[in-house]
Each structure stands twice: as structure tokens, then as C-alpha cells.
Structure 1
Amino acid sequence: MQHCGTAAQLASLGFSSPSSSSSSSSVGSNDDPGTDSSTFYGKRRTPALPIPESSEDSEGSSSDDEIIINVKTGQDEIYSDSSEQSEAEDEGQDEGQSGSESRRLLWKTPARVHYPAPVWIGQLPSVSEVLTPTEYFRQMFTPECLRHIVEQSNLYSVQKDVNSPLNCSEKEFEQFIGVAFHMSIYGIPATRMCWQAGTRIDKIADVMPMRRWEQIKANIHFNDNSLDLSPSNPCRDPLFKLRPLLNFALDTMNNIPMDEHLSVDEQIIPYKGKSRLKLYNPSKPHKWGYKVYLLCDSKGIAYNFEFHTGKIQPVIGMPDLGASSNIVLRVASIVPQGQNFKLYHDNWFTSTGLEMEMAKKKIYCLGTVRANRLKGCSLKSDKDLKTIGRGAFDEKVATFEGGQLIAGKWQDNRTVTMLSTFAGAYPTCKVKRWDRKLSKVTDVQCPSSVVTYNKNMGGVDLMDSLIALYRTKIRSRKWYLRIFFHLMDMLCVNAWLLYRRDYHACVQKGKEELGLREFKSSVAEVLCKQGSSSQLKRGRPSSESSDMRRQKKRETKPQQEVRKDGMAHWPYYSDKQGRCKKHGCTGQTRQPLGTDKSCHSSMKSECASQQLQGSSLSSSAAACPLVQSHRPLGHRGANVGQVRLRSLSHQGPKPVNAAIVS
């Protein structure tokens, strides 16, 4: 892990330079360091400028191997993550609550016994048919949530300016979300490009005007500001502006039937704007952003989440196991008890107290663990395992009321320490590893617990990668809009994963499985078009059809190099009037027109004939005024994208002159 800043910068803030460490959600070649834990994780250092006890972030509650340092920079607060104080603090909390139990544990070397995993009692509901993509999405984004957002957005617009209400309907807001989904699929860098002439996207620009879309975006709201507490009030909810939206999302996700294998991990919502909830962790791909703790299954379906807002409180009615373990208790509180679910987590969350507490609920855990959290467990040292060679491992077992703890250490490229209540080292299996000395791939002995962990731990990472494929990247100064669009992406990915689960449960012949892009595009198209009616505009009705008017707007001005290249400037005839393009001529006529398809220039017949006779060009460009006079397009009186060329004859559509033909 990289340092959070230079030594001089940390010293100026009153902190000493933190030591580095790393962790991974999957174990293998680079999971645990091969050094002694007391020297690797370092000792707790007292900062020169102590953080007050009233601070929200005085407790370590950050990511893998991290500390939260509160650095005030004007209006914004930045949280910088490192590895020392967080571990020391959650260690101290573990000792305060479960230290006595850890000391009473008697670790023994077991015989070569295979520990069978408890049989899962629950089951997924049977599915008879596969729904449409929009039906799956509307199960996640309910009509009640849509109605609440529309009401609060309209209220917020009136609170801002009573003279300009938003007057947004539910159907119009669905179109807003559909447009946002289309933007995420196309991946455009700026939203206004969808309406601009050169980069216009019909699926977006035909749904609603740009100004209306931006007006909805500027007024989107989720809670009544008049009910908010003052920022100085300690009881104020940091996520007050989003709380109703989060509650609606949690209600739908908590009701999804759960699979057997679940995992708890963190997720980063990328964001670099001003927000006191923003975190900084230099070891992550997205160093700045909001942190969310997720509960997912091995397929990536999310069932619960919780935002990191500062100090992590213990679960009511549960023991305080420290910041990291309390997160698992809070997020996994919705898991049904007594059904033998399997829960996986990495070494920042794992502790003996957590696994014993979950085992009492018949929820069995498996995860990597830091060596200093195994009190009294004398596994072989890293040096001894390295001497034996790759594939060596050691295992200890401790019994407690309600089950047993199985701790093991395995030597790969580095040592990996595991702690579980249901999985041991046996039966071992073989994994493929590259041997540098032999210059070939060899088989290495691997404990069963490591294979089980690697197979089922990556659910949160899978969800994060699927969201990143088609992330909605709409810029805004409002900090909560980034979270709103992230939740919409998460609900859409969740809907697609549920669709896949039902599709594989009842395979329908003749129907091909939709990928995420096709699924999200289908949802966006239905949201944009379903139930929409073409409203009559004020004014005199036009004789042109809507398709003709739309085609008229699509024509764009050619670039300068194309307009003046002297190639393919052939006139064609139209019945509409225009204005002469010749420099200095202001004449107009209502005679039939000829429009140059190459450069869309216009010219009166007399001017065109004079220019053609005096031209030395022998190509079709002789009649084009833009080859002779470099006057730019877009002059007064010309239609944008449709500047027309006057007919070179007063007698209607017939060849202008033989000299035009090259």
C-alpha cells in the first residue's frame, strides 16, 4: 500500500508516516506478508495533534489496512486512509469485548480430519417463466419510490423559486432515467453532446429537449429540506438528503431470496467533488469516493448495503466487537438464522469474536485473518513454512460453546492465514503455480478452505465490475446525485442478475439470454417510450410531418475542408426559396432552387451564371460560390444545416451548363 502522503505533509499535520500493508479479497500468491506480524503491522503511534473524542471519525472504521485522518481544507473534509491506527483501535475494541473469550480458547493440533460443511436448509423459490427486463427493473425501482422522488422534486423546485415550478410527472421522470441509462451505454464525455448537431444521438434527443432534461436534473430531490436539522446538531443524519431513497432501495434488496454463499466487502463510489463523506485511499483503483459496505452472494446479487459516514456503531442487542466486526454484524443482520448460511469476508473484518457470535446464529464464516487477532494460537512461523516449501500448511482447532474455530496457515508465494467455523484444510487439492526454478507450471498442494474462499468471496467485486462496465458518469456539483445514479446502476445490475438466475432456472427454448448491455438498453428504451404521447404544440399546425421536421434538424453544416475541397458540388432542385450566397448580393427570388449537396450553398441564377462564365475551373466546383468566395455559412436568413443554392436557370430543373460537367 502506498503512503497517504509525503513525510513532510504528514508531519505538518501532526502525524508520523504510516507503515504500509496490503490485503486482498482472494487469497493466493499475494495475500499475506511473509514477515512477523508485530513488525509488519507496526506499533501504535500517538499523533502530535490528538483528534478530539467528539470527532465523528475518531474510531478506525475504514477499508483494508487503513486509518481515517480528518484533514480540514476549508469547506471540505478529506479522509485519508492508512494502515496503523485502524488496526490498533479495532484490536483494542476486540480485546475489550472478546479478549477474555479469546484467552480461554485452547488451540490444539487436530488429526487429519475432514470437517463436513453444514447442509444449507434454505432454498430458492421455483420459477415458471422469465419476466421482461423492465419488469425486473421495476421490482427493484418500485412505483412508490418513483412517486416519492417526483413529489419531492416538485416541492424542491417551488421552494427554490415559486415562479418556476418543475411540474414533473412520473412518466417524465422515467424518461429522465431512461436517458441517463442510454448515456451510460454510449459513454459520452458530456451530456450536451447528445443534443448537439454534430454528435446528436436520436434515442436521447428525440425523447425530451436538452433544457428540460437539465431542468429535471437541477431539481431532482429526495427529502424535504425543511425537516433537516442544523449541521451543528450531533443527531443530524449525514445522509438526510438521500435517506428515503436508501430506505426504498434497502426494502427491495432485503426481500430478494438469498443464496447459500454470501460475502461482505466494501465498494467505492468514485467522486472527487466537495463532500464531507468523501474518503481517500491511495491503495484503491478509485482513490477518492464514497465507501459502501455490501452483502452479496457469489453471483454478485446485492442484498444489503450500508454507507460509511464516520464512527461505526454496534448493533443493538449485540456485543461491541470493534469497528470492523461491527460492520459484518450490521450488514449480515438480515441473513435468516438457523439455516446454515455461509459468510465470507477478508482479513479486515475477521476476528474470533465475530465468528463465534455468528456461529451461535447458525451462520458459518470463513475468511483470511491477521495473525495478531489469533490470541494464543501458535501456528508455525512464516520462516518454518518457507523452509518446508510451497504448499506447506499448518492447522489448529479450538472448541467453544456452539462450535469450533479452525485456524490454518498456508505457504504460497507468501503465507496465508485462514479462520473458519466450517472449513478446514482437508481434503487438500492441487492448484497450478509457476515454478521459476523449473520454468514450468507445477502442482502445489492447497488446503480446502483456501479453495472454498477463492470460489465464493468475489461477489462484491463482481457487482462492482459490472457497474463499472456501463457506469452513469453525469457530472454535477451536488454530492448526492453521484450516489443516486450509482444506486440506479446497482439496481439495474441487480435486476439483470435476477433475470439471469431465473433464466438458468427455467431455460426457455428459442430465447437467447440477454447480456448486461442489451438488458440495460431494453430497460432504457421502454422507460423512454412506454406510455408517451405526442402532445400538440401551441401555434398554427405545420403541414410537414414530424418525421420530416426531425430529418430537417439532422442535417449538419459541413466542415471547412469539406466545403472548399472543390469536389462533387452538383446542384439539385427544390421548391423552396433561399438567399443569394454571392458576396455583396442581397437579392432574393421565389423561383425553384438548386441546393448543392456537398456544401449546402445557395446562389441567385444571374450571379451563378456570371461566376460560371468568368471561372477558370473546369469541374463542378465552378458554380459553387464557396470555392470562389470564402464566406462562412450561417449568415442571416439561412437555415442552419440547410443553406440552399439558387437555380442556375429560370426555366426550372434542367442542366445548368455543360461546363459544370467535369
Structure 2
Amino acid sequence: MSIFGLPGCRMYWQSATRIDCVANTMALHRWEAIKRNLHFSDNLKQAPIGEPAYDKLYKVRPLLTSLLEQFQAIPIDENLCVDEQIVPFKGKHPMKQYNPKKPKRWGYKVFVLADSSGMVYNFEVYTGCICPCNGQPDIGASGNIVLTLSSIIPDNISHKLYFDNWFSSVDLQMLLEKRKIHCTGTVRTNRLAGCCLPTDQDMKRKGRGAFEEKETIYNGVTLRAVKWHDNRAVTLLSTFASANPATTVTRWDKKKKTTVQVKCPSIVTKYNKSMGGVDLLDSLIALYRTKIRSKKWYHRVVFHMFDFAVVEAWLLYRRDSRDCGIPPKDVSSLAKFKAEVAGCLCMEKKTLKRRGRPSQHTEEEQPEKRPKTPVEPRPSTLVRIDQTGHWPVWVERKGRCKYPGCSGIVKVQCSKCVTYLCFSVERNCFLNFHKQ
């Protein structure tokens, strides 16, 4: 449903807007019954409001826990970032947040730990309270969430963690540096007590590309603060990066009506290169977001997590394809990957529908073979060898056998795979095709 993006679920079954690959999978009343009764936890076992064991995400906690276990099993990249994303939702619920700086301003807030490619390793759905991580001091809500998400990062391996000015503080970077997790982030100047950096007006007078760096050692940790003026002044704090060596970036000059080269500190280059992972993840999810309207608040979280998991799987598939040397042109796009996953889930272990009374001889009508067929067998391996619902049927139109190494012309198809296969005493490609 996320690929076609029709505004209403029932439109997939209506004659004017029918989508066969959806409507033929199950009946409308079946889909609505599944949606209406979709549960992940026993409501009778939920702790009452006010008790310490009360969980606002109790209804979806098993799903979130299962996804976290899978995400945290992925090998962690060296460069990581922490940022927030919004799950679009305009209904009434106390967990709903408003963020005017996000493309989707209303919704549930999710804090995410990801790498620069968008691969997710940990996440936390915001419920209104951010407690300190186990054994860590309380450094405020923004710092606590970074400590919680970074708890899965191994110590003493020199991972690099990036975050924006809502999270960044001196206390946070010092705690992470003690674990040998190097940090860089934009920072608010009121969190740099005693740091004498130039004012924004002074930086503006110096001109575009001007920067200044201050360095100090605090409790054995080296901290560097860099202020750089681009379109406006921005301040960064780091435990490993510095302003030098500076590079140049291309900017547009409104007065000269042309592009100019502007000095850019090294710390800014590293930050921009590694900080956009969560924003990239948001853009990938938004391409084919599952838009299913519902009065139940947790449905929005559930369908977002489904999209979350599929995008994560596609990023893993793309990483593995690159490691195996597969050319980029042969790697499936996100839309094709989603369609293949949906097709496998719909077809796996699926039995044939039978009309009227149950009979051993009644078979469902088979759709006509497409004029152009791919070189490889149509069904995926999971569907081909699931040993469920594969029956030889005779068709009027001849076709070439799709078993590798056979070029026979036959009139027999597999009822489920819709694939021409030899089925005779001399050649039994039908059996071999569904065994290997």
C-alpha cells in the first residue's frame, strides 16, 4: 500500500481504483478485521496509570523490543549521529509533539542513533520523560537521551559521535570522551561558560569565512570550541576535531552575483559529512510511507516501524551488495525492494483458492501469461520451494520451459508460480524446479 499511496484503504478493493496485487491477496473484510484486532500486548496485563511499571508504549512494546534486538545486532559504523525524527500524527494523544522546524510538525518524537548512510542501530520513542541512563549522572533531558542511545557503542574503540545544539554540552562530551567515544556537535553559546569567543557582530564584521578557535583542558579532557561565520555565525564543540586544516567551500555572493570560495574549518566539514544520517532515513521513509488512517493512536507507530524496518533492510541489502562487488545498476531500488518483500510475504505458504464445493479436481483459473517474460524464473526462492499450492495445470498457449538448461516447448504451468515447466515421463522439470 505504501508504494501506490491511495488516500483510502478501501480504494484498493473498489472497482475504479482496484489494485489487483493487494485486492487478490485477501478480501476487504478480512483486511479490516486484521486491522481492527491488531494487538501486540495483552491489555488486561497493562499496569494502571500511576504505578512505576506503567508504560505508555505498552501496546507496541513487544514490536519495539523485537526491532531493537535486530538493529543492535548490526555491526556499528565508526561515524555515528544522534538526531530526532517525527512520526506524522495529528490525532489526540499526550505523546504528540509539535516541532515547527520539522517538515511534519505534528507527531510522535523518536530519537535515533544512526550512521551517515541512514543505518539505524538504536532508537527511543519519546514518552515525555527522559531518565538518566543506568549508572550515569543526570545531565538534563537532551544529554540523557544521548547517553541512553550511545550505551550500545563499545568503549575504547574510538567511535565518533555527532549531534546538534539541542543535545550538545560540555558535560555530555566529557562523559563520552571518558569512554573513548569522540564527539563533535554544534553548541549553544550559553552552554560554554567562561569561553571568550567573539560575538556574532564581531564575526560578521570580519566577513564570510572568518573563524576563531579556543582550546582548553578540563578534568583531563581536551575541548575545542570553534566559531565560524558563513551566512550566520555557528559554534561547534569537539573533543577530537579542530579548525585546521581549513578547506574552501563554494557559496553564492548576492552582491557580486556569482559564486565565491569561502574558508571552512575542518571541524565543520567533518560535522556536515557525518551528521545527516537521520535526515536521510526520514527522506527514505517519506518516499513510500504507509498512509493508513485509523482512530487507534498506536497504529501510526506500528506502520511507521514497518516502514522503518523495510528501509533498514534495504540499506543492509545495499551495503551487502556493495561489499560483494555487485554493480550499482543491478541493485534494486527501494520501491522495487519493497514490492519484492511484499510479494514474497503474500505468496509464501499460500494455498490455492477453490470455488464452490471442495474438490480434488477443481483448480482456480490461471491468469494469461505475459507477452514478455524475464530470463530468470519469476517466483522468489522462498515461494518456489515452500511446497505449498504448486500444481501442474494445462493451458492453451505454449511456452518455453523456464527450468535452467531446458529449452522445451510445453503447455504445462505451475498453478502458483505461473511458470512453464516440462511435466512428462522423459523430462520432469516441474519436480526439479520446486526442489532446488
TM range (shorter): 0.7 to 0.9
**Is residue 391–residue 411 contact of structure 1 (8 Å, CA) maintained in 2?**
yes
Residues 1:224 and 2:42 aligned together: yes
Gaps of 5+ in 1: 1-182, 552-662
Residues 1:547 and 2:388 aligned together: no
Q: Partners in 2 of 1:249 and 1:373 — Cα distance?
A: 35
| Residue of structure 2 in register with 1:323 after alignment | 141
- Deviation of the 1:536 alpha carbon: 3.7
1:472-522 deviation per Cα after TM superposition (whole angstroms, max 9, x unaligned): 001111111111110010010000001111111111369811110111111
- Deviation of the 1:452 alpha carbon: 0.7
Residues 1:483 and 2:301 aligned together: yes
Q: 1:211 aligns with which of 12, 29, 41?
A: 29
- Deviation of the 1:194 alpha carbon: 1.1
- Deviation of the 1:232 alpha carbon: 4.1
| Residue of structure 1 in register with 2:390 after alignment | none
Q: Partners in 2 of 1:489 and 1:277 — Cα distance?
A: 20
Secondary structure of 1:184's partner? Answer: coil
- Deviation of the 1:431 alpha carbon: 0.5
1:245 aligned partner, one-letter code: L
- Deviation of the 1:380 alpha carbon: 1.4
Residues 1:376 and 2:190 aligned together: no
1:528 aligned partner, one-letter code: C
- Deviation of the 1:455 alpha carbon: 0.7
Q: Partners in 1 of 2:317 and 2:358 — Cα distance?
A: 48
**Is residue 404–residue 421 contact of structure 1 (8 Å, CA) maintained in 2?**
yes
| TM alignment of 1:434-445, pairs within 5 A | 434-445=252-263
- Deviation of the 1:538 alpha carbon: 5.2
| Residue of structure 1 in register with 2:118 after alignment | 300
1:344-369 deviation per Cα after TM superposition (whole angstroms, max 9, x unaligned): 00000000000011000000000100
Q: 1:338 aligns with which of 156, 160, 170?
A: 156
**Is residue 354–residue 362 contact of structure 2 (8 Å, CA) maintained in 1?**
no
RMSD: 1.9
| Residue of structure 2 in register with 1:238 after alignment | 56
- Deviation of the 1:288 alpha carbon: 1.2
| TM alignment of 1:161-560, pairs within 5 A | 183-233=1-51, 235-508=53-326, 512-536=330-354, 539=357, 546-547=364-365
1:303-349 deviation per Cα after TM superposition (whole angstroms, max 9, x unaligned): 00001111210112111111111110011110111110000000000
Q: Partners in 1 of 2:359 and 2:316 — Cα distance?
A: 48
| Residue of structure 2 in register with 1:603 after alignment | none
- Deviation of the 1:542 alpha carbon: 12
Q: Partners in 2 of 1:465 and 1:329 — Cα distance?
A: 26
| Residue of structure 1 in register with 2:418 after alignment | none
Q: Partners in 1 of 2:192 and 2:234 — Cα distance?
A: 13
Matched residues, number: 368
Q: Partners in 2 of 1:197 and 1:366 — Cα distance?
A: 55
**Is residue 90–residue 106 contact of structure 2 (8 Å, CA) maintained in 1?**
yes
| Residue of structure 2 in register with 1:139 after alignment | none
**Is residue 359–residue 402 contact of structure 1 (8 Å, CA) maintained in 2?**
no
- Deviation of the 1:272 alpha carbon: 1.2
Q: Partners in 2 of 1:511 and 1:184 — Cα distance?
A: 24
- Deviation of the 1:215 alpha carbon: 0.7
Secondary structure of 1:324's partner? Answer: helix
Q: Partners in 2 of 1:321 and 1:232 — Cα distance?
A: 25
Secondary structure of 1:546's partner? Answer: coil
| Residue of structure 1 in register with 2:395 after alignment | none
CA separation of 1:504/1:389 partners in 2, compared to 1, >3 Å: closer, same or farther? same
1:461 aligned partner, one-letter code: D
**Is residue 343–residue 363 contact of structure 1 (8 Å, CA) maintained in 2?**
yes
Q: Partners in 2 of 1:225 and 1:344 — Cα distance?
A: 39
- Deviation of the 1:213 alpha carbon: 1.1
**Is residue 277–residue 309 contact of structure 1 (8 Å, CA) maintained in 2?**
yes
Q: Partners in 1 of 2:361 and 2:309 — Cα distance?
A: 44
Q: Partners in 1 of 2:114 and 2:329 — Cα distance?
A: 28
- Deviation of the 1:233 alpha carbon: 3.3
| TM alignment of 1:44-63, pairs within 5 A | none
Q: Partners in 2 of 1:352 and 1:540 — Cα distance?
A: 73
**Is residue 352–residue 364 contact of structure 2 (8 Å, CA) maintained in 1?**
no
**Is residue 360–residue 402 contact of structure 1 (8 Å, CA) maintained in 2?**
no
| Residue of structure 1 in register with 2:402 after alignment | none
Secondary structure of 1:502's partner? Answer: helix
1:230-264 deviation per Cα after TM superposition (whole angstroms, max 9, x unaligned): 23435411111111111111111111101111000
- Deviation of the 1:276 alpha carbon: 1.6
1:536-590 deviation per Cα after TM superposition (whole angstroms, max 9, x unaligned): 4553769996337x89xxxxxxxxxxxxxxxxxxxxxxxxxxxxxxxxxxxxxxx
**Is residue 408–residue 417 contact of structure 1 (8 Å, CA) maintained in 2?**
yes
Secondary structure of 1:465's partner? Answer: helix
**Is residue 355–residue 362 contact of structure 2 (8 Å, CA) maintained in 1?**
no
1:296 aligned partner, one-letter code: A
1:41-83 deviation per Cα after TM superposition (whole angstroms, max 9, x unaligned): xxxxxxxxxxxxxxxxxxxxxxxxxxxxxxxxxxxxxxxxxxx
Q: Partners in 2 of 1:385 and 1:190 — Cα distance?
A: 53
Gaps of 5+ in 2: 369-436
2:164 aligned partner, one-letter code: D
**Is residue 324–residue 348 contact of structure 1 (8 Å, CA) maintained in 2?**
yes
Of 503-512 and 476-485, deviating more is: 503-512
- Deviation of the 1:292 alpha carbon: 0.4
| Higher RCO (CA 8 Å, separation ≥ 6 residues) | 1
TM-score scaled by length of structure 1:
0.54
Q: Partners in 1 of 2:260 and 2:14 — Cα distance?
A: 58
TM-score scaled by length of structure 2:
0.81
CA separation of 1:544/1:196 partners in 2, compared to 1, >3 Å: closer, same or farther? farther
1:361-382 deviation per Cα after TM superposition (whole angstroms, max 9, x unaligned): 0000001000000010001122
- Deviation of the 1:531 alpha carbon: 1.8
Q: Partners in 1 of 2:198 and 2:311 — Cα distance?
A: 44
Q: Partners in 2 of 1:253 and 1:437 — Cα distance?
A: 49
Q: Partners in 2 of 1:511 and 1:383 — Cα distance?
A: 50
| Structure ID, larger Rg | 1
Q: Partners in 2 of 1:514 and 1:235 — Cα distance?
A: 44
| TM alignment of 1:107-126, pairs within 5 A | none
| TM alignment of 1:32-181, pairs within 5 A | none
Q: Partners in 1 of 2:312 and 2:356 — Cα distance?
A: 43
Secondary structure of 1:290's partner? Answer: strand
Q: What is the aligned-residue identity percentage?
A: 52
Q: Partners in 2 of 1:509 and 1:487 — Cα distance?
A: 30
**Is residue 393–residue 408 contact of structure 1 (8 Å, CA) maintained in 2?**
yes
